[in-house]
Structure formats: C-alpha cells, structure tokens
Amino acid sequence: MSYLNFLRETAERAGNVTCMGLDPVLDYLPARLGYRIDEIIPNFFEKLFDEMSNRYLKPAAFKPNQGYYLKHDVPLQGDFSGSLALSKTIKLCREYFPHIPVIMDYKRGDIATSSSNYAKEGFERWVADAVTISPYMGSDSVIPFLEYSTKGQGTYILNRTSNAGGKDFQNLLLQDGSTLYEAVGKKIIEWSQKYPGTGAVVGATSVSELKVLAEQYAPYDIPLLIPGVGSQGGSALQVMNALKKAKYDVKLARINSSSGLTHPWKKSSHIPENWATVCADALEALIVDCKI
C-alpha cells in the first residue's frame, strides 16, 4: 500500500487526524514505574495505552522523537537503555494500535552516502512508516529517503517549522521576492511527483502561512505533519479550519501534540495520581478537535 493510501485509510479508521507525540521526560513521569530507563518509559506508555484502549481512544499516528530516548544511552559503558526504551515503545504502539503509522522524528540530512545509511536506519532498522528529514543539503541528501516511497514509506521534509527560531532562515527573502520556505515548498512538490508520499512539516503556530502552503500542496497530495499544537500555542481547530478552507485533503494531515498529551501537568509541580486519565482526557479533547 502507498503511504498516501495508508494515511487516508488510517484516518478513516480512527475518525481523526491526531498525531500523538511520544516524547517522555523523566522529571514529569510518575514514580514506581521501574528502575531502569528501558523499564520506566515503556511501563509509562503501556499504562497510558491501556487507559486509551479502555476508552476506545485511537489517534491516527504516533511520533516518537528519537532524541528523547537515545539521550539516555551511554554507549562507551555498554548502556543502550534509551534505545531499548524506544524499541519497546514502538512495539507497544504496534501491539495496542496495529496499522497506525509510526513516524520516526529524527530530522536527518547529510551527503548522499550518509543519508543512505540514515534512511536504512529509520526505515529498515526502526521499521518506521515515515521519518522526518532536513532539506538543507539539497537533492542528493533528500532522495535516499524519498526512494523508500516504493516500499510504502513516507518522508516529511522540514518546511515551515513551529519553533520560534524557524524564521531565522526559513523566512529569509530570496532574489525573486519569495521566502526560503516557499522555495523548499516548490522542491517538495517537484520531488513528490516522482516520489509520492513526500510530505512537509509545517507548524501550527502560524496558521496564515500554513493555509498558503496547504493551498499549494492540495493539488499534489502532499502529506502534512503539523506540530506546535498545545504547549507551543497552536490550535487544532484553527488548523483544521485552515486546511478545509485551502481545500486540502485533511486525511493526509497529521496534527501533532507531544508534551500536552504525555505530561500535561508539566507547568505544575504535582503529578496527579490519576495521571493516565489526565493524559487520556487531553488526547480525547485533541481527537474531538481533529475529527474528520
């Protein structure tokens, strides 16, 4: 199955286009989940997935950010507990929510031979349904990832990101008066013609820019990964409205929230006893806003 059809099918099954970011922060996790990293993190998600399953809450994608896991590895001491935690977390996603996309957020991008290695890591070793990459080094850096479209896997290219510093480069004006992110958008469309499933990362924090890009992408079936909802200030309802006004196929979008779903109490000094319920409540609210 192509990645485009996979996105459409899973959105229809879930009834929404919610993407659940899986970015664990130890300081915000409840106690008594284990002693090792590869116990604590998977145990947290297993209890949360239990709660979600009991309430029939199903997002339309999961997005673990690799950095939240691999930072716990201490390779020179033979400690790969972070990698094990990520492996177990992905397996839990597959077990509890089969046939739901897992997007590996690792934002790679290097010279062609190195990109080939990173693509193999993401698509073949982690068996991700999609990955995120940077376009900064151009076509020879990007294409090794896009070539996996023939195997039904997708690639999201950083386009107009949700972080405050994104404007430092992405909004730079080019000689023709367009912005750098608009030029990247044109290349994404060009690449998508040969490699269907080529997508774009466009943040929820600037709805006007999102709407312009969605209008450009709509005729070409460009999947959108839209972070920035929740703690970064983006609104899922505004995003959904912008996509619909742009006549964009919302089934190809995935609207992501991470910390707002996995530790919504982070601004408080108190982790609630019913933390799994609190997380599930936050997810349910996002799913309602992202209904198709």
Residue 63 contacts residue 21 (beta carbons within 8 Å): yes
Rounded Cα distance, 170 and 150, in Å? 30
If you count DSSP H runs as helices and E runs as strands, how many of each does the chain have, helices first? 12, 8
Rounded Cα distance, 102 and 31, in Å? 27
Q: Burial, 56: exposed, middle or buried (Cβ in 10 Å; 0-12, 13-18, 19+)?
A: exposed
Amino acid at 147: E
**47 noted as active-site residue:** no
Residue 176 contacts residue 182 (beta carbons within 8 Å): no
Name, in order, each residue with C-beta under 8 angstroms of 190's C-beta and a sequence gap of 6 or more. none
Active-site residue, from 47, 107, 120, 266:
107
Residue 188 contacts residue 198 (beta carbons within 8 Å): yes
HSE-CB at 80 with a 13 A cutoff on CA atoms is 7
Query: Which amino acids are annotated catalytic?
Result: 107
